[in-house]
Amino acid sequence: MGKEKNPRRVADNEAMAKLRMLKTSPQKLNLLAGLIRGKKVDRALNDLTFSKKRIAVDVKKCLQSAIANAENNHNLDVDELIVSEAYVGKNLTMKRGRPRARGRFGRIIKPFSEITIKVRQLEEQT
């Protein structure tokens, strides 16, 4: 009489990881997502390791989490994984301000964003 198992959100040869509340704008984060999209995971990890961008450390952790999910939860081969999707979404926006001249108020927007990374195992060519 237990609850039925939830269906998988990804295909059988895929795994994903999502990282929320990253303190950067989605536009800046999308530059890194475009850098790793479509590459093999070892190449993508190298690109993120040697990137000069501050947020590349967090994106690398998310990619490593997706690889670990693929290996441990879905029994996929790590050597045949590619980054099939990497997309960015908006999250919370903190609104701050600063007093300006003549009684005005300058708005300061502090955006947060989130990234979702899906890795897929390539099928062998026979």
How many other C-beta atoms lie within 10 A of the C-beta of residue 26?
18
Mind listing the pLDDT tens digit for each residue in 12-60? 999 999 999 999 999 999 999 999 999 999 999 999 999 999 999 999 9
- Which of 95, 120, 112 has its CA nearest to residue 55? 112
Asked whether the beta carbons of 84 and 120 are under 8 A apart, the reply is yes
39's tokens? 């590459």
53's tokens? 């961008």
Report the predicted TM-score, pTM, of the whole model to 2 decimal places.
Answer: 0.90
d(CA 45, CA 1): 44
Query: Domain extents for the chain?
Result: 14-121
**CATH topology for the 14-121 domain:** Ribosomal Protein L22; Chain A (3.90.470)
Mind listing the pLDDT tens digit for each residue in 67-114? 999 999 999 999 999 999 999 999 999 999 999 999 999 999 999 999
Task: Using DSSP, state whether 88 is helix, strand or coil.
Answer: strand
